Amino acid sequence: GKMPYWEGQSFGVIPPGLNPKNGKPNSVRLYSIAASRYGDDFSGKSTTLCVRRATYWCPELGAEDPAKKGVCSNYLCDAKPGTDVKMTGPSGKVMLMPESENFDTDIIMVATGTGIAPYRAFWKRLFVENGPAAEAYKGVAWLFLGVANSDALLYDDELQAIKAKFPDNFKLDYALSREATNKKGGKMYIQDKVEEYADEIFERLSNGAHIYFCGLKGMMPGIQDMLKDVCTKKGLDYDEYIKGLKKDGQWHVEVY
C-alpha cells in the first residue's frame, strides 16, 4: 500500500474537530499497529488498531461526563465502515522485532490492556501467516498480559490456537488482578506474574532474548522494582544490568 509499515510501529490518527482548550485542530494520537506488515487480509494495503473507548465516570453526575471522554478513541470506535480517517506515519523503531540472521531470538512480550497491540503484529507474522518469517522462526515467543479479569482478555482465541499449535515455540501467561493472587496474597499484577518466571527470563536474556514492555506507563515502576529485587538476589547491579540490555538492543519500552 501507500503507507507500508513494520511490526512494532505506530500510526497516528487525527480526529476531526477543534480542541476546546485552544480552538486549534485536534492533535495526532498514536496507536500501535496490531497487524503484521501484510495486514489481516494479507493484501499489504490494510492495517488493524486495538482501541479501547476512553470514558470518564463522574461520581457527582452519577454518569459518564461527555466533556472528559477520549476524543480520538471515541471517534474511532464510533466510525462506520467507509469513514475516511486522517492518518500519519508509520513511525517508531523502539518496538521493532529482532531480525537475527538465524531468526531464532527469544522474544519476551509484557503488556497491560491494549498494550498487547504490537505483539499481535509479532505473533501474526511468526505463527499465523504462511510467510518466510513463520517458516524461519525457531525461537520462543512468550507473552505476559495483565488485565483486570478474564472478561477483559484480548485476542484470547487467537492466542490459545497458537499455543495449541506451537507448544514448543509459544508461551502464554495472564495476570488477572481481580481474579488471582500473588505469592504474598495480594492482587496478581503483571510484575508478579513475570517474577514467577524470573530465573528462566533472566537465563533467556543472558542468551540474547529481547524483552518488550507496552501499555500504561503506570506498569513500569512495579516492574522495575521487581527486577531490582531479582537482580539483588542474583548479585547483579540493576542499573548496570539494564544498561547492558539497552546497549545490546534487547530492552524495548513503549508506554503511554
Quote the pLDDT of residue 160.
97
Quote the pLDDT of residue 88.
96
The residues carrying an active-site annotation are: 31-32, 214, 254, 256
Q: Is the pLDDT of residue 101 over 70?
A: no
- Extract long-range pairs of 177-182: CB within 8 Å, 24+ residues apart: 177/146, 177/147, 177/148, 177/149, 178/148, 178/149, 179/149, 179/150
24-74 pLDDT, tens digit per residue, is: 999 999 999 999 999 999 898 999 999 998 877 778 778 877 777 889 999
Number of CB atoms found within 10 A of residue 16's CB: 11
The answer to whether 95 and 254 are in contact (CB under 8 A) is yes
In this predicted model, which residue has the larger pLDDT, 168 or 103? 168
- Paired with 44 in beta bridges are none
Mean pLDDT of 100-123: 92
Percentage of residues in the chain with pLDDT exceeding 90? 77
**Mean pLDDT over the full length of the chain:** 93
Instruction: Grade residue 84 by pLDDT with cuts at 50, 70 and 90.
Output: very high
Cell 518466571 belongs to 197
Q: Please report, for residues 9, 151, 166, the alpha-carbon distance to residue 128 in angstroms, rounded to integers and kept in the order given.
A: 19, 24, 10
- pTM of the predicted model, to two decimals? 0.91
